[in-house]
């Protein structure tokens, strides 16, 4: 196969991420203990807060902590003091201490791909948080370039391809998120491989729009070995 440029998402593609945020959210719901709102209804309120705040503060555990504090103040059926807010923030801060658990097939497949193609890691979030996970994963040496950006949209992919000198016809974005990985990469004229994750964050879900047959869908990460073998 002609040498390809393979761009990888990190969270929930190379390693688990959202499951830890969901676990914290479950603890938050228990602490909130709302008398009428269901878990999904509480989640809808938090989504509203995150949609606004993510544009200002970005992503990651620290910003999630801020959002939980704001959600508590909005929904609590009792008086909320500083200790309550600090408690829910502390729940989110524990994510920062979480070990990095690689997705099945990543450790075995990535070295095979790196031997034949140029690998780039392209992730969004807080630079310190993301770089910590990259280092803990042990995967950094396999990548020619690792980059953390505030947002992954069409403009971000166009800039990455331009700066790195990627030929669009031989460049693939590989990830689990339709919103940040697949659709914007296709809109930028790249190819894409969608690796669905059943626990993808609700705000990263949307319909996938294939363009000119440039999208491939696989069931598991190890399928990349045969796709790019």
The predicted-structure confidence for 20-65, as pLDDT tens digits, reads as follows: 999 999 999 999 999 999 999 999 999 999 999 988 888 999 999 9
Superfamily of domain 5-14+101-227: HAD superfamily/HAD-like (3.40.50.1000)
Q: How do the pLDDT tens digits run along the chain, 229 residues long?
A: 799 999 999 999 999 999 999 999 999 999 999 999 999 999 999 999 999 998 888 899 999 999 999 999 999 999 999 999 999 999 999 999 999 999 999 999 999 999 999 999 999 999 999 999 999 999 999 999 999 999 999 999 999 999 999 999 999 999 999 999 999 999 999 999 999 999 998 889 999 988 889 999 999 999 999 999 8
Domain boundaries, the chain: 5-14+101-227, 18-97
The answer to whether the Cα torsion of 132, 134, 136, 141 is positive or negative is: negative
Q: Tally the C-alpha atoms within 13 A of residue 107's C-alpha that lie toward its C-beta.
A: 7
Nearest-angstrom CA–CA distance, 36 and 41: 9
Reduced to 3 states, what is the DSSP secondary structure of residue 172?
strand
Q: What are phi and psi of 115, to 5 degrees?
A: -75, -20
Q: CA-CA distance, 103 to 14, in Å (whole number)?
A: 6
Task: Quote the CA–CA distance of 142 and 74 in Å, as a whole number.
Answer: 45
Contact 204, 215 (CB under 8 A): no
CATH number for the domain formed by residue range(s) 18-97: 1.10.150
**Please, are residues 15 and 137 in contact by the beta-carbon 8 Å criterion?**
yes
């Amino acid at each position: 196969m002609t040498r390809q440029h393979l761009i990888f998402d990190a969270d929930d593609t190379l390693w688990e991420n959202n499951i830890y945020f969901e676990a914290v959210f479950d603890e938050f719901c228990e602490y909130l203990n709302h008398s009428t709102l269901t878990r999904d209804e509480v989640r809808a309120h938090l989504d509203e807060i995150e949609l606004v705040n993510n544009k200002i503060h970005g992503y990651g555990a620290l910003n999630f902590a801020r959002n939980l504090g704001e959600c508590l103040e909005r929904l609590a059926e009792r008086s909320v003091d500083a200790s309550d807010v600090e408690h829910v923030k502390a729940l989110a801060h524990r994510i920062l201490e979480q070990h990095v658990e690689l997705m099945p097939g990543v450790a075995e497949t990535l070295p095979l791909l790196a031997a034949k193609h140029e690998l780039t890691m392209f992730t969004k979030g807080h630079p310190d948080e993301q770089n910590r996970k990259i280092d803990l994963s042990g995967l950094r040496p396999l990548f020619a370039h690792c980059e953390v950006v505030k947002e992954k949209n069409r403009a971000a992919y166009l800039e990455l391809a331009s700066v790195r000198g990627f030929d669009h016809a031989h460049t693939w974005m590989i990830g689990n998120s339709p919103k940040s990985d697949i659709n914007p990469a296709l809109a930028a004229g790249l190819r894409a491989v969608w690796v669905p994750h059943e626990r993808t964050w609700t705000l990263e879900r949307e319909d996938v729009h294939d363009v000119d047959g440039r999208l491939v869908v696989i069931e598991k990460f190890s399928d990349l070995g045969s796709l790019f073998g």
